[in-house]
Amino acid sequence: MVQAVASTEAIEKRYEGPNGTFVNRYYINADYRNGPKEVREGACAFLVALVTPSGKIQPHFHAVDQFQVVVAGGGHMGNHGLHPISVHYTDAYTPYGPILAGPKGISFFTLRARTDGTSIYNMPESRHEIKGRSGREVIFETEVKAPETLYRNDVAVEQPFAPHNDGLAAWVIRAGPKMQVSAPSPKGGGQIALIVSGDAQHGEKQMPLWSCISLTPGDPPLHLTAGASGMEALILQFPAPREAI
């Protein structure tokens, strides 16, 4: 089932963490923390904004596969520098971090094909909760080319890494003003699209900057119409669930 949430529809919540202040925005499955404490079907997307300079998120892992997309500020994840647009993928039960915010804080989307109502498993105290061996980490960088996109009269598709056999893949799509865009068919564990520059039309719905669209395997390919200043979007495809491989 396709779910499209415009950035203007996201729900903002502020809370104090042990090492910083967060002003988060919840998109798809916005109330996931209030649901059952288990992994369940249905995508989940939210924006984490650690606004405290030099704030910290300690190393941890989750029970589901996820992408994280840095969209503002910067910092480090372990030894990797983070800045817009850094993309980080981890398999379920794969520890990562710490995440250290820079002087302007850091903001990143967390995108999941399945909703995780379980705990955040902090390390090293949750090491015994890891099921089997830790999995993959995939990191890539792209950039917003908004001024250039304004003058495009075509659609360009980039693939930052070779697709994996279980469906894990990503595409960067850049489209000039009013151009029609068709994304690859959703496979693996489904896709989440994120508008990272400009805006787009999805059916009758306007999708401004930082809007999200989730698709499940078997849904038709995503079709968008770029806005008057063009559009850039990430299409992030999750691997098939382990039991389905």
pLDDT tens-digit profile of 149-190?
878 899 999 999 999 999 999 999 999 999 999 999 999 999
pLDDT at residue 35, rounded to an integer? 66
Q: Which residues contact 84 (CB under 8 A, 6 or more apart)?
A: 70, 71, 72, 74, 144
Domain ranges of the chain: 9-141, 146-244
Tell me the CATH architecture of domain 146-244: Sandwich (2.60)
pLDDT value at residue 94: 94
Provide the pLDDT for residue 237.
98
Query: According to the model, what pLDDT value does residue 245 have?
Result: 42
CA–CA separation, 117 and 65 (whole Å): 13
Cis peptide before 124 (omega within 30 of 0): yes
pLDDT tens sequence across 43-81:
999 999 999 999 999 999 999 999 999 999 999 998 899
pTM recorded for the entire structure: 0.93
**CA separation, residue 101 to residues 160, 199, 236, 244 (Å):** 25, 28, 24, 37
Identical fold between 9-141 and 146-244: yes
Round to whole Å and give the CA distance between 224 and 205.
Answer: 10
Of 222, 190, 60, nearest to 125 by C-alpha is 60
Task: Give the model confidence (pLDDT) of 15-51 as tens digits.
Answer: 898 899 999 999 998 666 666 677 878 899 999 999 9
Q: What is the pLDDT of residues 84-129, one digit of tens each?
A: 999 999 999 999 999 999 999 999 999 999 988 777 888 899 888 8
Provide the sign of the torsion angle of the four alpha carbons 8, 9, 10, 11, taken in this order: positive
Chain segment 215-238, per-residue pLDDT in tens: 999 999 999 999 999 999 999 999
Among candidate residues 207, 203, 146, the one with its CA nearest the CA of residue 177: 146
9-141: what fold? Jelly Rolls (2.60.120)
